[in-house]
Amino acid sequence: MLCFQRQSNSVNEYDAIVIGAGHNGLTNAAYLARAGLKVAVLERNPYIGGATVSRELHEGWTYSNCSYVCSLLRPEIARDLELPRHGLQVVPYGGGVTFMQNGDIFGKYPEPERRYREMQRHSRRDADAWQRYAADTMKQTRLIRPFLMKRPPNPTSLRPGRLRELAEYGAAFGEMGEAGLADTMRFWTKSVADYLEEFFETDVIKAHLAGSGIIGTALGVYSPGTAYVLLHHYMGDVDGNVGSWGFARGGMGAVSGALAAALQSYGGEIISDADVGNIMVSGGKVTGVALRDGREFRSKIVVSNLDAKRTFLDLMDEGDLPQTVVQRARNFKIRGSSGKLNIALDGLPTFNGLDKKSRLMVGDFHFHDSLPRLERAYDDWKNETWSKDPYLDLLIPSLFDPTVAPPGKHMMTVFVQYAPPKINGREWTDEDKAGFEKSVLDQISNYSPDFRDLIVHCETRTPRELENEVGLTEGNIFQGELTFDQLLFNRPFPGYAQYRGPVKGMYMCGSATHPGGGVMAAPGANAAREILADLREPNVVPEGYADD
């Protein structure tokens, strides 16, 4: 019997290799596999998902260890890759509370009637100003949404096709009219505080809304550019309701799980415990990757799901790269500023001033009642320490999702702003981590007397853990700051915003590319479209839905 023995390296030969099984890497690979390519995703961790992950660290409780709420995930992709069939369900949630130092609360009800009256209780003017604010943010959102599922134009290219893309952007701005354009320019460059001051007079209302402007960002509420970050949190939708957020049933890992199942249904492979150490280049072309354990995988296409710093400075030899790329990768702004606590609770905590049966219990909780207090939380970051009075975005998903905690028990997710990548210029220590954790637990305990006693287990993640365990440089949750200098055709940097790297066959598909961070899947899908175009394969990546 003739026995044909494949050579070992031919087993490791692929049409395309994706480094990293973050949700964008999985999306990218799924589209390449669907187009008929032989694809492997190499993931350093024993589990997939990157920052879109669910893990059971304490028996009976499932955490969304990093990202915790879903809105940005492009519906075009969810539908096209049949993510619902592969197990994804996103349940919308709404509303929020800011607990105030004077014992009062501000409850942002999801229903307009109660929201209006509650705002009116704090300020009659602000209650009315909401309609103006809602219309204005919607205007800005509508400008950016059509470009989420498109590659950014290249403003330096004069080729006709490229000019057409640029003209599309121009037209979108033109549609706003002169006054609208001026507003937009101001919006994209101003601080979230300045933006909110244009509408509201009440401290707690401004502070409540300002949180979305600083999440994941090493800037304060008074820093220019934070108004855009607010928009980044408004531009998603759940079932067409722009600005809505939802919970993925089973935690955010359900997103990656469904993407992985889609990928596998197209014949793609996921190889975990595969820590890539090097993107191999020969003669100006990519030839494959080498793992740190010595294994090699060959491919003419290598796509990196990692941020721009890791991709260019860790995985590539600087000598293989143009000098500008090395320079720009070094200067890429990727400052960590956030941490996370995931808490298993023996029961539902009591919060001062809030009835346990209130509709508001299923909203997001915050504890900053003024903009100056938020700014002081940022001052700590600048002083290279964690905020002593940290801004929290706290939710109890178990009030929605019966799968994440045992019956009658609860799971709390606590996003924390700010935590610097280094403490006073040195690495985080375990004592620092304990101090960080304490500042968060104290903040919650200030408003919930029984909270501490209910804690069964707590996972605490400082930028150190986010960097080491998730692979996010400095712990920056968006793989790079979402400031105007790093958005659209400047993401990650000029000349490389269309997902192609400086070496033939090398691509980027992570949140460091347009349209940026968040569980959106758009970077992964957009990158696949470019790769298929370069391979002269028919496009299988959907266009964006039109907003009307």
Partner 1 sequence: MNPHQDEPIYLPTAFHSRQQQHNLLHAWGGWNGYLKPEAYTDIELEYFAIRSTTAVFDLSPMNKYRVTGPDAEAFLNRVLTRDVAKIKNGRVGYCIWCDDAGQVMDDGTLFHLGDNDYRLCSYTRAYEWLYWSSLGFDVAIEDETGTVAALAVQGPTSCTVLTAMGVTGLESLKPFGILEVSFQGQTLTVSRTGFTGDLGYELWIDTSAGEALWDALFAAGEPYLIKAIGTEALEIARIEAGFLQAGVDFVPAETAVRRGCTRSPFELGLGWLVDFDKPRFNGRKALLAERDAGSRYRYVMLDVDGNKPAHHSFILQHGKVVGTVTSAAWCPTAKTNLAFAQLELPADASLTGLVAEIYYERELRWNKVLAPCVAIDRAPFDPPRRRQTPAPAL
Ligand X SMILES: Cc1cc2nc3c(=O)[nH]c(=O)nc-3n(C[C@H](O)[C@H](O)[C@H](O)COP(=O)(O)OP(=O)(O)OC[C@H]3O[C@@H](n4cnc5c(N)ncnc54)[C@H](O)[C@@H]3O)c2cc1C
Residue 218 corresponds to which tokens in the numbers above? 């090493």
Q: For residues 51 and 28, what is the distance between their CA atoms, to the nearest angstrom?
A: 16
Does position 56 interact with partner 1 (CB under 8 A)? The reply is: no
- Alpha helix ranges (H) inside 315-423: 323-331, 371-382
Does position 539 interact with partner 1 (CB under 8 A)? The reply is: no
Confirm if 256 and 47 have CB atoms less than 8 A apart.
no
Q: How far is the CB of 465 from ligand X (least distance, A)?
A: 10
Q: How far is the CB of 153 from partner 1 (least distance, A)?
A: 22
Choice between 28 and 98, CB closer to ligand X? 28
Choice between 176 and 313, CB closer to ligand X? 313
Give the bridge partners for 393, in sequence order: 415
Number of chain positions touching partner 1 (CB under 8 A): 36
Choice between 139 and 298, CB closer to partner 1? 139
E-strand ranges in 332-477 read 338-345, 364-366, 391-395, 410-417, 455-461
Q: For residues 23 and 52, what is the distance between their CA atoms, to the nearest angstrom?
A: 6
171 binds, among partner 1, ligand X, none (CB under 5 to 8 A by kind): none
Sequence-distant (6+) residues with CB within 8 A of 395 are 68, 69, 93, 363, 364, 365, 412, 413
Instruction: Show contacts with partner 1 in window 104-133 (CB under 8 A).
Output: 104-105, 107, 109, 111, 113-114, 116-117, 124-129, 131-132
Does position 51 interact with ligand X (CB under 6 A)? The reply is: yes
Confirm if 370 and 204 have CB atoms less than 8 A apart.
yes
**Which residue, among 365, 64, 335, has the nearest Cα to 219 in the 3D structure?**
335
Choice between 369 and 467, CB closer to ligand X? 467
Contact segment (CB under 8 A) with partner 1 among 135-143, 243-251, 400-408, 520-528 equals 135-143
Number of chain positions touching ligand X (CB under 6 A): 38
Locate tokens 């290598």: which residue?
302
From candidates 44, 491, 500, 529, binder to ligand X by CB under 6 A: 44
Instruction: Show contacts with ligand X in window 505-544 (CB under 6 A).
Output: 510-511, 517-519
Q: For residues 19 and 292, what is the distance between their CA atoms, to the nearest angstrom?
A: 13
Give the bridge partners for 280, in sequence order: 288
Instruction: Show contacts with ligand X in window 315-374 (CB under 6 A).
Output: 338, 340
**Number of other CB atoms surrounding residue 75 within 10 Å:** 17
CB-neighbour burial class of residue 77 (10 A; exposed 0-12, middle 13-18, buried 19+): buried
**Which residue, among 185, 104, 102, has the nearest Cα to 140 in the 3D structure?**
185
Handedness of CA 132, 133, 138, 139 (dihedral sign): positive
Does position 404 interact with ligand X (CB under 6 A)? The reply is: no
Q: How far is the CB of 176 from partner 1 (least distance, A)?
A: 6
Pattern of binders to partner 1 over 350-369, x per CB under 8 A? --xxxx-xxxx---------
**Which residue, among 484, 499, 497, has the nearest Cα to 217 in the 3D structure?**
484
CB-neighbour burial class of residue 504 (10 A; exposed 0-12, middle 13-18, buried 19+): middle
Contact segment (CB under 6 A) with ligand X among 63-71, 384-392, 428-436, 534-542 equals 63-71
**Which residue, among 440, 444, 436, has the nearest Cα to 384 in the 3D structure?**
436
Does position 177 interact with partner 1 (CB under 8 A)? The reply is: yes
Does position 28 interact with ligand X (CB under 6 A)? The reply is: no
Choice between 202 and 443, CB closer to ligand X? 443
CB-neighbour burial class of residue 469 (10 A; exposed 0-12, middle 13-18, buried 19+): middle
Does position 103 interact with partner 1 (CB under 8 A)? The reply is: yes
**CB-closest chain residue to ligand X:** 22
Confirm if 509 and 523 have CB atoms less than 8 A apart.
yes
Choice between 195 and 415, CB closer to ligand X? 415
275 binds, among partner 1, ligand X, none (CB under 5 to 8 A by kind): ligand X
Give the bridge partners for 504, in sequence order: 285
Residue 392 corresponds to which tokens in the numbers above? 């929290």
Q: How far is the CB of 524 from ligand X (least distance, A)?
A: 7
Instruction: Show contacts with partner 1 in window 385-444 (CB under 8 A).
Output: none
Confirm if 391 and 326 have CB atoms less than 8 A apart.
no
132 binds, among partner 1, ligand X, none (CB under 5 to 8 A by kind): partner 1
Does position 272 interact with partner 1 (CB under 8 A)? The reply is: no
Does position 414 interact with ligand X (CB under 6 A)? The reply is: no
First to last CA, the chain: 65
Choice between 202 and 226, CB closer to ligand X? 226
Pattern of binders to ligand X over 1-20, x per CB under 6 A? ------------------xx
Tell me which residues touch ligand X (CB under 6 A). 19-25, 42-45, 50-52, 66-69, 72, 275-276, 305-306, 338, 340, 415, 466, 470-472, 477-479, 510-511, 517-519
Tell me which residues touch partner 1 (CB under 8 A). 103-105, 107, 109, 111, 113-114, 116-117, 124-129, 131-132, 134-135, 138-139, 142, 175-177, 179-180, 352-355, 357-360
